[in-house]
Structure 1
């Protein structure tokens, strides 16, 4: 009896789900007078991705106009869709199509201009207007006191009266001959998917189930499909009416995950709406696949996602980080977009755009050909990847200026909390770019301390106060500590092995460097002259100032920049290790026990 009852519950749930799946892709409209929307198109806000073909997303605006968005950020109103001839007719919202043709990039979409009668044009600004050119196409919506004329690009300039005219630009591709009329409807054709065969036979078209390329389509019998769907819905409703509550209880974990994912997406969409003025480009998941050539070239793997090399054009390369959906609740995505959208500095990586398409999220950055700084930190006796001391001095000074800008140059102070060599990228000229703001926090400039409930950062670079308030309050001085550890690692060419390795017998290298300098010895690294030795010593001393055990004893990043730019007579700081050795050992052991998950700490306001 019990087994039969649960089989009945399972059957009822299956019926309901099947009925819902049949109805979610039904034909829809934005308004009563809008064109019918069905495969290969779909309404992005109302239908899941499998209801449409990649790149055929439509949306509805507040006036119930059907909107098609084409690369690059060009929006048109859809007036009609002819599914048999596979032609979509669109109208520019401001009745001036030529204003958008120059930036329209159909090569990145599945649409082309409907032929025939496509020509190459060049625009000329003629002031005063020349009667001799009136037989050419004039563009009323672009013309004011002067007149804008479209001349065939193949025309001979010598034969045209253009003495008082200025060339504006060429259209980058052939365009329809009658596009300059104010009421012109632009007709775009698509060749793939080929659903017109299904339409002519009176059948529907859809993506094949379980196809691997996500581009194969098939025809299906619409009337039979609808009839079956209705029967399944009715049967499911009857059988499931008394068991719906129990089904929900049985599937509690699934529904809970789905609810959290929707809340996460809603939070992200609200955030993106607020930060729309920052102008980063929003890409769809189909755009991301095209940019990365279907994720062909992997650049690296991190805690929050995988980074792939991408290409926006033949000359513009980008790095695309696909975020892990299982990590966090979207906080890193919001941190990256919200933080980098505020920043414009030569030593901070630039956010080109982002993707928030359902549960798929990605960040698109400028590409750094030389990778991370970690690749060029070599051992003390190796010259394989050594950049030279003058280049290292330039890199450290540039990183310091970047952090100083984050702390003092923005409207709000930005604390990075993960300064390390892996998060410093090098462009083709080895100029450093601070990256990875997933752990960053924003605070006002007059706020001296930050409230935290979880330690954040990477072992070996985390300041002591981030673990325990016994060492002071968490503030921008925590980034200063991380920068100091990075600086010492660049000088010595090795990591803080006591924290990151199991071999506790090795020396704590910042203390090793301090002892050498205190005794007047060189720091036993490769130098080729007196100037190299001065640079190495200066960088080491500045690094030791930055890693003072208590935040109050560390300089600000502005003072660090001044020390790096000043003379080579920076004084050795007090020994930060003599009185804090036991505390440091306690933190070292704590870090080893929590390599994957950092410990939770209690912070006071």
Structure 2
């Protein structure tokens, strides 16, 4: 064989090896990129392919999931199926919320609509005893699932609007602890985040009670104080402040107004919708005569939740009535801040506990 033939053969082999090496490197980089986007330990990417939408949408969701996984637990969908007996009707709490058990602890699992990755990132930065804690997240076949701590006593609305037949009842002191818990949660999102968050969906059905009847604010989807345009809200119109309904103005005073509504429901045991209809929309009339020095206590007695059977300290109840009036002021600048409300309710709770121990 001539020298030229040998050189040509060697050159051919070198070129072939170079091509194979390039292909191998490209495949390796592609595999590594996929691994960086979604670790197989946290999601069954291969057994459950999710490329059913556009590739761009899913790539963005998976990249979001990878970012979230750095600070929040990412659950495997099989774990959620096992925890809820494959999302059986018996585990359904309401709508898209299911109760499950994982490692011996009860959890709540909620199937979310749309891409909520940005909201999840916000929720991960917020941590307070009186806000329902997000335990983790799952992404499966284009759907997001949030995993929350479970509040075993359910929504506040089940307790303050309940009939005597279901044996659900909250004492005066329990009610004061609950409203103080809610006020502390709202004060946290208003005062300890820059810029402050606005809850915008406060009502008795969104307040959950744990096994110790401590209140947890649920369905928290942060709205920024900086927002000035009216957006969608799940709250009923009557819970919303006048400046938001009429002008779309969003500020923490919107939550203060809704908190006044919540206090009124806790005090009277009646739904705001019913009071609103009875008074032709003028809720301020509910306190007519209540602050009269001569007949005020009698008027207050007519206003109070009859299930309390007058087992409450009149002075504390009067303080709550005045606080409600301040919170429902039409002028937002005349409403108290949540920090002031927390201080007022702390005094009322202390007075109530002293009263209760003296019985």
TM-score, normalization: structure 1? 0.46
Distance 2:175 2:271 in 1: 17
Which residue of the partner structure matches residue 475 of structure 1? 251
Higher helix fraction: Structure 1 or Structure 2? Answer: 2
Please state how far the C-alpha of 1:466 moved relative to its aligned partner. 1.8
Check 1:364–1:489 CA distance in 2 against 1; reply closer, same or farther (3 A cut).
Answer: same
Distance 1:339 1:32 in 2: 40
Check 1:397–1:33 CA distance in 2 against 1; reply closer, same or farther (3 A cut).
Answer: same
Which residue of the partner structure matches residue 395 of structure 1? 178
Aligned pair 1:288/2:74, yes or no? no
Contact 1:347 1:402 in 2 (8 A): yes
Specify every segment of 5 or more residues in structure 2 that has no aligned partner in the other structure, as ranges: 1-22, 350-359
Which residue of the partner structure matches residue 300 of structure 1? 94
Cα RMSD after superposing both structures = 3.7
Check 1:267–1:538 CA distance in 2 against 1; reply closer, same or farther (3 A cut).
Answer: farther
Which residue of the partner structure matches residue 458 of structure 1? 235
Which residue of the partner structure matches residue 17 of structure 2? none
Distance 2:312 2:106 in 1: 38
Check 1:371–1:34 CA distance in 2 against 1; reply closer, same or farther (3 A cut).
Answer: farther
Superposed CA deviations along residues 464-519 of structure 1, whole A, max 9, x for unmatched, are 222222xx83211111111111111111111122598xxx4565584343114234
Check 1:437–1:367 CA distance in 2 against 1; reply closer, same or farther (3 A cut).
Answer: same
Specify every segment of 5 or more residues in structure 1 that has no aligned partner in the other structure, as ranges: 1-30, 36-58, 76-108, 110-206, 208-213, 215-256, 569-605
Larger Rg: 1
Contact 1:373 1:422 in 2 (8 A): yes
**Equivalent residues in 2 for 1:391-470 (5 A)?**
391-438=174-221, 440-443=222-225, 450-459=227-236, 460-469=238-247
Aligned pair 1:513/2:264, yes or no? no
Contact 1:496 1:508 in 2 (8 A): no
Equivalent position SS for 1:354: strand
Which residue of the partner structure matches residue 595 of structure 1? none
Equivalent pairs, count: 311
Superposed CA deviations along residues 40-67 of structure 1, whole A, max 9, x for unmatched, are xxxxxxxxxxxxxxxxxxx9434989x9
Contact 1:378 1:493 in 2 (8 A): yes
Equivalent position SS for 1:517: coil
Check 1:69–1:454 CA distance in 2 against 1; reply closer, same or farther (3 A cut).
Answer: closer
Higher strand fraction: Structure 1 or Structure 2? Answer: 1
Contact 1:376 1:385 in 2 (8 A): yes
Please state how far the C-alpha of 1:284 moved relative to its aligned partner. 3.3
Check 1:266–1:464 CA distance in 2 against 1; reply closer, same or farther (3 A cut).
Answer: farther
Check 1:381–1:351 CA distance in 2 against 1; reply closer, same or farther (3 A cut).
Answer: closer
Superposed CA deviations along residues 424-467 of structure 1, whole A, max 9, x for unmatched, are 111110111111023x2135xxx5xx322425241131122222
Which residue of the partner structure matches residue 601 of structure 1? none
